[in-house]
Amino acid sequence: MKHQSIAEQDRIHTLDIIRGIAILGIAMANMMHFKTLADLDMMTMIEGRGLPEATLDALSSLFITFFVEGKFYPMFSLLFGLGFYIFLF
């Protein structure tokens, strides 16, 4: 069985664009967690002190929780399943 690439006109570009937006949103959600863990030093973790929370921090956390985690993960999962469905049939 010889593998062939898909012709350019056979691809569904709208799905590729939406999938890229979903991956960008997932990267935004993960960047918040990467920043939070990188800002903590060992004494903060041992003593149990939290980082100071400002208004902008709370608003950005709310934005990412509502829009990113609530929307982009399900959207990417749906597109992943749709891609497999199109691939099989």
Q: Is the pLDDT of residue 17 over 80?
A: yes
CA 40 vs CA 7, 22, 32: distances in Å: 49, 28, 13
- What is the predicted pLDDT for the residue at 12? 84
Q: What is the dihedral of CA 5, 80, 68, 51, to 10 degrees?
A: -90
**Model's pTM, two decimal places?**
0.61
Per residue in 18-72, pLDDT (tens digit) is 999 989 888 887 876 676 655 556 655 566 555 566 788 778 778 877 877 788 8
